[in-house]
Amino acid sequence: MARIGMRREKRIALIAHDQRKKDLIEWAAWNKESLKKHKLFATGTTGRIITEKLGLEVSSFQSGPLGGDSQIGSRIVEGAIDILIFFWDPLESQPHDPDIKALLRLAVLWNIPVACNRSSADFIFSSPLMNENYDRIISDYGEYSTKRKVDI
């Protein structure tokens, strides 16, 4: 087992599909003061809207369909994202569904908290751990990567 430290100032990725952007903006407005205490990242359109409507500083990546979900996934692997708030639309097929599945898989693999709706986001944000240092425990995948041999 390995531990990855999360500081009091969390690095939070915010993503919302088009039909869920209104929900995310309303949730972010309600939690604006809490969000100000953390470093925020987002996919392109979501980040732009949060900055314009709420005045929060957000580091934005590409739009999701243009690779933004994958960019956030790579930051998770690098240990640069602590929490994923991803209001996804379960009723709408997305052109980048494989990227979404990969992003959620990486979040689970690297043991970061994930909120997919307002209730789960509220539970994460109301946790006393949001304002404390915290060590995430992740499985040691070293054996997996050293045992995999590819014959070329």
Strand partners, 148: none
Strand 2-6 relative to strand 134-138, pairing = antiparallel
- As a whole number of angstroms, the distance between CA 60 and CA 136 comes to 25
- The per-residue pLDDT for range 2-54, each reduced to its tens digit, is 888 899 999 999 999 889 999 999 999 999 999 999 999 999 999 999 999 99
Q: Which class would CATH give 7-147?
A: alpha beta
User: The pTM is what?
Assistant: 0.90
Listed residue (120, 101, 95) closest to 24, CA to CA: 120
Among 18, 23, 69, 140, the one annotated catalytic: 69
Give SS3 for 13.
strand
> Is 69 a residue of the active site?
yes
- Every domain of the chain and the residues it spans: 7-147
